[in-house]
Amino acid sequence: SSSGATHSALGPGARLARAHEGGADMACHWRRWLVPTLLWHTSAFVPAQSVEGSHGPESGTLFPKVTFPDETGRQVTIDPDKSLDSFPGKRLVLWWYPKADTPGCTKEGKAFEAMNQAYSVHDVQILGISADVPADNKAFSDKYSFKYPLLSDVDRSLPAALEVTSRRWAILLNEDRTVEEFWTDIPDPEMFPVMPLSYLAAQKWAPHKEL
Protein backbone atom coordinates (compact mmCIF):
# COMPACT_ATOMS: atom_id res chain seq x y z
CA SER A 1 0.00 0.00 0.00
CA SER A 2 1.02 3.64 -0.30
CA SER A 3 1.20 4.02 3.50
CA GLY A 4 3.46 0.96 3.70
CA ALA A 5 5.73 2.39 1.02
CA THR A 6 5.96 5.68 2.89
CA HIS A 7 6.85 3.90 6.12
CA SER A 8 9.56 1.78 4.50
CA ALA A 9 11.12 4.89 2.96
CA LEU A 10 11.58 6.54 6.34
CA GLY A 11 14.93 6.34 8.11
CA PRO A 12 15.17 4.52 11.47
CA GLY A 13 15.13 7.72 13.52
CA ALA A 14 12.09 9.00 11.63
CA ARG A 15 10.29 5.72 12.26
CA LEU A 16 11.12 6.03 15.96
CA ALA A 17 9.79 9.58 16.05
CA ARG A 18 6.59 8.54 14.24
CA ALA A 19 6.11 5.66 16.66
CA HIS A 20 6.66 8.03 19.58
CA GLU A 21 4.02 10.40 18.25
CA GLY A 22 1.65 7.49 17.69
CA GLY A 23 1.44 6.74 21.41
CA ALA A 24 -0.45 3.47 21.39
CA ASP A 25 1.58 2.20 18.44
CA MET A 26 4.85 2.45 20.36
CA ALA A 27 4.73 -1.00 21.96
CA CYS A 28 4.07 -2.64 18.61
CA HIS A 29 6.88 -0.62 17.07
CA TRP A 30 9.39 -1.83 19.72
CA ARG A 31 8.49 -5.46 19.00
CA ARG A 32 8.55 -5.23 15.22
CA TRP A 33 11.56 -3.00 14.66
CA LEU A 34 13.65 -1.90 17.62
CA VAL A 35 14.19 -5.25 19.37
CA PRO A 36 15.50 -7.00 16.22
CA THR A 37 17.64 -3.93 15.56
CA LEU A 38 19.13 -4.12 19.06
CA LEU A 39 20.08 -7.75 18.55
CA TRP A 40 21.58 -7.18 15.10
CA HIS A 41 23.48 -3.95 15.86
CA THR A 42 24.94 -4.75 19.29
CA SER A 43 28.51 -4.72 17.96
CA ALA A 44 28.06 -2.00 15.34
CA PHE A 45 29.71 0.71 17.46
CA VAL A 46 32.91 0.05 19.37
CA PRO A 47 34.32 1.89 22.38
CA ALA A 48 36.62 4.78 21.49
CA GLN A 49 39.61 3.28 23.25
CA SER A 50 39.65 0.45 20.68
CA VAL A 51 39.71 2.84 17.70
CA GLU A 52 43.21 3.62 16.55
CA GLY A 53 44.10 7.29 16.82
CA SER A 54 40.98 8.29 18.75
CA HIS A 55 41.00 10.06 22.10
CA GLY A 56 38.82 9.70 25.15
CA PRO A 57 38.53 8.17 28.61
CA GLU A 58 39.33 4.52 29.25
CA SER A 59 36.71 2.20 30.69
CA GLY A 60 36.97 2.01 34.45
CA THR A 61 38.38 5.52 34.92
CA LEU A 62 36.61 7.92 37.25
CA PHE A 63 34.54 10.60 35.55
CA PRO A 64 35.40 14.14 36.68
CA LYS A 65 33.16 15.88 39.21
CA VAL A 66 31.18 18.45 37.23
CA THR A 67 28.23 20.79 37.62
CA PHE A 68 26.44 22.39 34.66
CA PRO A 69 23.15 24.27 34.29
CA ASP A 70 20.38 22.53 32.42
CA GLU A 71 17.97 24.24 30.01
CA THR A 72 15.90 25.57 32.94
CA GLY A 73 18.91 26.97 34.79
CA ARG A 74 18.88 24.19 37.40
CA GLN A 75 22.38 23.08 38.41
CA VAL A 76 23.05 19.42 37.57
CA THR A 77 25.93 17.68 39.33
CA ILE A 78 27.70 14.45 38.40
CA ASP A 79 29.70 13.21 41.36
CA PRO A 80 30.72 9.79 42.75
CA ASP A 81 29.44 11.03 46.12
CA LYS A 82 25.77 10.04 45.95
CA SER A 83 24.85 12.77 48.41
CA LEU A 84 26.03 15.36 45.86
CA ASP A 85 25.07 13.64 42.60
CA SER A 86 21.84 14.76 40.89
CA PHE A 87 20.96 11.20 39.83
CA PRO A 88 22.14 8.90 42.65
CA GLY A 89 21.89 5.19 41.92
CA LYS A 90 21.32 5.68 38.18
CA ARG A 91 23.64 5.05 35.28
CA LEU A 92 24.02 8.00 32.93
CA VAL A 93 24.36 8.27 29.19
CA LEU A 94 25.68 11.68 28.14
CA TRP A 95 25.64 12.61 24.48
CA TRP A 96 27.59 15.63 23.30
CA TYR A 97 26.12 17.46 20.33
CA PRO A 98 27.75 20.27 18.30
CA LYS A 99 24.87 22.77 18.12
CA ALA A 100 21.27 22.89 19.32
CA ASP A 101 18.47 22.67 16.75
CA THR A 102 20.70 21.74 13.81
CA PRO A 103 19.77 18.79 11.59
CA GLY A 104 22.05 16.08 12.97
CA CYS A 105 21.59 17.12 16.59
CA THR A 106 17.82 17.26 16.15
CA LYS A 107 17.73 13.73 14.71
CA GLU A 108 19.87 12.42 17.56
CA GLY A 109 17.85 14.25 20.20
CA LYS A 110 14.52 13.02 18.85
CA ALA A 111 15.81 9.44 18.65
CA PHE A 112 16.98 9.60 22.26
CA GLU A 113 13.58 11.00 23.26
CA ALA A 114 11.79 8.19 21.41
CA MET A 115 13.87 5.66 23.38
CA ASN A 116 13.71 7.49 26.71
CA GLN A 117 11.27 5.00 28.21
CA ALA A 118 13.40 2.06 27.09
CA TYR A 119 16.45 3.62 28.76
CA SER A 120 14.39 4.13 31.92
CA VAL A 121 13.70 0.39 32.04
CA HIS A 122 17.46 -0.06 32.46
CA ASP A 123 17.51 2.71 35.11
CA VAL A 124 19.59 4.95 32.85
CA GLN A 125 19.20 8.73 32.76
CA ILE A 126 19.77 10.44 29.40
CA LEU A 127 21.63 13.77 29.45
CA GLY A 128 22.32 15.90 26.39
CA ILE A 129 25.22 18.33 26.65
CA SER A 130 26.71 21.00 24.39
CA ALA A 131 28.43 24.39 24.42
CA ASP A 132 25.08 26.12 23.84
CA VAL A 133 23.79 28.58 26.42
CA PRO A 134 20.80 27.44 28.54
CA ALA A 135 18.37 29.67 26.62
CA ASP A 136 19.28 28.00 23.31
CA ASN A 137 18.98 24.57 24.87
CA LYS A 138 15.60 25.48 26.33
CA ALA A 139 14.32 26.56 22.92
CA PHE A 140 15.66 23.29 21.49
CA SER A 141 14.05 21.21 24.24
CA ASP A 142 10.71 23.03 24.08
CA LYS A 143 10.54 22.76 20.30
CA TYR A 144 10.85 18.97 20.33
CA SER A 145 9.38 18.24 23.79
CA PHE A 146 12.48 16.54 25.17
CA LYS A 147 11.85 15.02 28.60
CA TYR A 148 15.51 14.71 29.59
CA PRO A 149 17.89 17.54 30.59
CA LEU A 150 20.13 19.43 28.17
CA LEU A 151 23.26 20.69 29.92
CA SER A 152 25.30 23.76 28.99
CA ASP A 153 29.10 23.58 29.01
CA VAL A 154 29.81 26.89 27.31
CA ASP A 155 33.54 26.70 28.04
CA ARG A 156 33.79 23.14 26.69
CA SER A 157 35.43 22.17 29.96
CA LEU A 158 34.19 18.58 29.85
CA PRO A 159 35.70 17.66 26.45
CA ALA A 160 38.93 19.28 27.62
CA ALA A 161 38.95 17.30 30.87
CA LEU A 162 38.25 14.05 29.00
CA GLU A 163 40.71 14.93 26.20
CA VAL A 164 37.97 14.39 23.64
CA THR A 165 38.51 16.03 20.26
CA SER A 166 35.45 14.61 18.50
CA ARG A 167 32.55 16.94 17.66
CA ARG A 168 29.97 14.24 18.43
CA TRP A 169 30.48 11.65 21.14
CA ALA A 170 28.73 9.87 24.00
CA ILE A 171 29.65 8.20 27.27
CA LEU A 172 27.97 5.70 29.59
CA LEU A 173 28.69 6.07 33.30
CA ASN A 174 28.19 3.50 36.03
CA GLU A 175 26.37 4.27 39.25
CA ASP A 176 29.76 4.95 40.89
CA ARG A 177 30.53 7.43 38.06
CA THR A 178 33.28 5.37 36.50
CA VAL A 179 33.34 5.19 32.71
CA GLU A 180 31.64 2.08 31.36
CA GLU A 181 31.69 2.79 27.62
CA PHE A 182 32.73 5.67 25.37
CA TRP A 183 31.80 6.28 21.74
CA THR A 184 33.56 8.86 19.58
CA ASP A 185 33.23 10.29 16.06
CA ILE A 186 29.62 9.14 15.83
CA PRO A 187 28.90 8.85 12.09
CA ASP A 188 25.10 8.53 12.17
CA PRO A 189 23.45 10.65 14.88
CA GLU A 190 19.96 9.40 14.04
CA MET A 191 20.93 5.75 14.46
CA PHE A 192 23.39 6.13 17.32
CA PRO A 193 20.92 6.22 20.27
CA VAL A 194 20.19 2.55 19.57
CA MET A 195 23.81 1.64 20.36
CA PRO A 196 24.04 2.33 24.12
CA LEU A 197 20.60 0.76 24.48
CA SER A 198 21.72 -2.36 22.61
CA TYR A 199 24.79 -2.53 24.85
CA LEU A 200 22.56 -2.39 27.94
CA ALA A 201 20.24 -5.03 26.50
CA ALA A 202 23.17 -7.31 25.67
CA GLN A 203 24.38 -7.05 29.26
CA LYS A 204 20.95 -7.94 30.57
CA TRP A 205 20.50 -10.89 28.23
CA ALA A 206 24.06 -12.26 28.47
CA PRO A 207 23.42 -14.46 31.57
CA HIS A 208 20.59 -16.18 29.68
CA LYS A 209 22.54 -17.07 26.51
CA GLU A 210 23.11 -20.66 27.57
CA LEU A 211 19.50 -21.27 28.65
What residues are annotated to the active site? 105
Spell out the SS3 assignment of the chain: CHHHHHHHHCCHHHHHHHHHHHHHHHHHHHHHHHHHHHHHHCCCCCCHHHCCCCCCCCCCCECCCEEEECCCCCEEEECCCCCCCCCCCCEEEEEECCCCCCHHHHHHHHHHHHCHHHHHHCCEEEEEEECCCHHHHHHHHHHHCCCCCEEECCCCHHHHHHCCCCCCEEEEECCCCEEEEEECCCCCCCCCCHHHHHHHHHHHHHHHCCC
